[in-house]
Chain A
């Protein structure tokens, strides 16, 4: 069992966010003598920045899923398709594996990231102190998985470059792709702005005040 007093912050120390060197807190707001990065005890404005990026991503999720991201025209007859539409189309052709990968990468991952990060933010803000190790695992998954949502954007890029046969077959990228790329980038930025140490600070300070825990 660790108490608040085991944290570097409570012993007048801080660690550089970039090279992990340990310094006295007197150096805060200066630069790390080893790597030159700005020194902060915790990532600056972590909660506000994470919320801001997260809300932007959440707003963009609507157009990202409702607007078509590309149109595939074969023999002149083309129809714009959304991400979900494209996945359903694949499923109808019996390519279930790929359809599931696309649905996971473009729908489940962004939505899961949103919910996961909101849970972590509320953990800090409401002072929830349960299952902290599980929440760290949640954060690591959210952090690692984010980049995979770019999958659909790359697919559109490849098809647009490849399928250029005039009236025979023609693929065009559409504006839904902008919103979708936005969702991916903003959720990644949100995960990067969050500081997991805040979860532990709160927990440890509270268990110290109330020793019955």
Chain B
């Protein structure tokens, strides 16, 4: 089969059923008729919205990481905590590997995801032939499930419940920023039309490059 013919086909990523690419209206999702898995979702203005959300997320990263999430008071003594300090605390107790996991899943991976999404979206939105677009998109997809901010948020709530009997717990600016950041990142994942992105990345590469 020639390439144009192949591009009209899609194979279910989970059961390998070969289909003619279904026509999907905006904000609908195509499912595999055999195994029921999601083939792709079509999103309206995906590039524009993902770019806006990624930039908003990048801005929220700063207050979420710099301001204290919780502060604790016992008999006039005071202690604060950020995401970074919760990793460093584990490092101080000789749990370096665990500290690294917290650092990666709660800070580095979420930040990288937003950066990669902003980079790819900006290149597509403004038709710039920036380097390594396919690579950036692939890394974004690989990192997806390793970002665990929402798990961290629930952990904060559990910590509050555990501490509330022995001390006074105050939520900080960091906690509200973290909640906002989670909302933005979740929205950016649902707004992302991966199929469209791959299509655009491929199409842009074929075009003559304007200088």
- What residues make up the interface of A, taking CB atoms closer than 8 Å to B? 2, 6-9, 11, 13-15, 17-24, 34-37, 74, 90, 93, 95, 98, 101-102, 132-133, 136-137, 139-140, 143, 146-148, 150-165, 168-169, 172-175, 177-178, 181, 185, 188, 196-197, 199-201
CB <8 Å contact, A148 and B138:
no
CB <8 Å contact, A148 and B151:
yes
Task: Closest A residue to B72 by CB, please name it.
Answer: A162
Give the interface segment out of B43-51, B53-61, B83-91, B122-130. B83-91
Task: Closest A residue to B96 by CB, please name it.
Answer: A178
Question: Smallest CB–CB gap between A37 and chain B, Å?
Answer: 6
Q: A15-B13, A20-B11, A162-B79 are in contact. Are A157 and B86 (CB under 8 A)?
A: yes
- C-beta contact mask, B58-93 vs A, less than 8 Å → 1, else 0? 000000000001101011010111100111111011
Selected from A34, A165, A200, the residue in CB contact (under 8 A) with B35 is A200
CB <8 Å contact, A178 and B14:
no
Is B186's beta carbon under 8 Å from chain A? no
Selected from B13, B36, B81, the residue in CB contact (under 8 A) with A162 is B81
CB <8 Å contact, B158 and A9:
no
With A21-B198, A160-B90 given, can you name 8 additional A-B contacts, CB distance below 8 Å?
A: A2-B17, A13-B18, A15-B13, A21-B6, A35-B138, A143-B145, A157-B86, A181-B98
Selected from B1, B106, B141, the residue in CB contact (under 8 A) with A154 is B106
Chain B stretch 78-121: residues in CB contact (< 8 A) with chain A: 79-82, 85-90, 92-93, 95, 97-99, 101-102, 105-106
Is B134's beta carbon under 8 Å from chain A? yes
CB <8 Å contact, B95 and A162:
no
Cβ contacts A to B, 14 pairs, < 8 Å: A8-B9, A8-B18, A22-B10, A34-B202, A90-B161, A101-B158, A148-B151, A154-B148, A154-B156, A158-B70, A160-B93, A177-B98, A181-B97, A181-B98
CB <8 Å contact, B95 and A175:
yes
Q: Is the interface of A mostly helix, strand, loop or mixed?
A: helix
CB <8 Å contact, A197 and B16:
yes
CB <8 Å contact, B158 and A168:
no
Question: Smallest CB–CB gap between A195 and chain B, Å?
Answer: 9
State how many residues of chain B have any CB contact under 8 Å with chain A.
69
Question: Smallest CB–CB gap between B190 and chain A, Å?
Answer: 14
In the assembled complex, which residues on chain A have CB atoms less than 8 Å from the CB atom of B99? 157
In the assembled complex, which residues on chain A have CB atoms less than 8 Å from the CB atom of B11? 7-8, 13-15, 20, 22
Q: A7-B18, A15-B13, A162-B72 are in contact. Are A98 and B141 (CB under 8 A)?
A: no
Selected from A17, A137, A173, the residue in CB contact (under 8 A) with B93 is A173
Is B137's beta carbon under 8 Å from chain A? yes
Choose among B89, B105, B148 the residue with the greatest number of A CB atoms under 10 Å from its CB. Answer: B89
CB <8 Å contact, A160 and B86:
yes
In the docked arrangement, what's the CA distance between A156 and B27, Å?
A: 40
In the docked arrangement, what's the CA distance between A160 and B99, Å?
A: 11
- C-beta contact mask, B125-153 vs A, less than 8 Å → 1, else 0? 00000000011011001000110100110
In the assembled complex, which residues on chain B have CB atoms less than 8 Å from the CB atom of A173? 89-90, 93, 95, 98
Q: A150-B151, A185-B101 are in contact. Are A159 and B198 (CB under 8 A)?
A: no
CB <8 Å contact, B86 and A7:
no
In the assembled complex, which residues on chain B have CB atoms less than 8 Å from the CB atom of A154? 86, 102, 106, 148, 151-152, 155-156
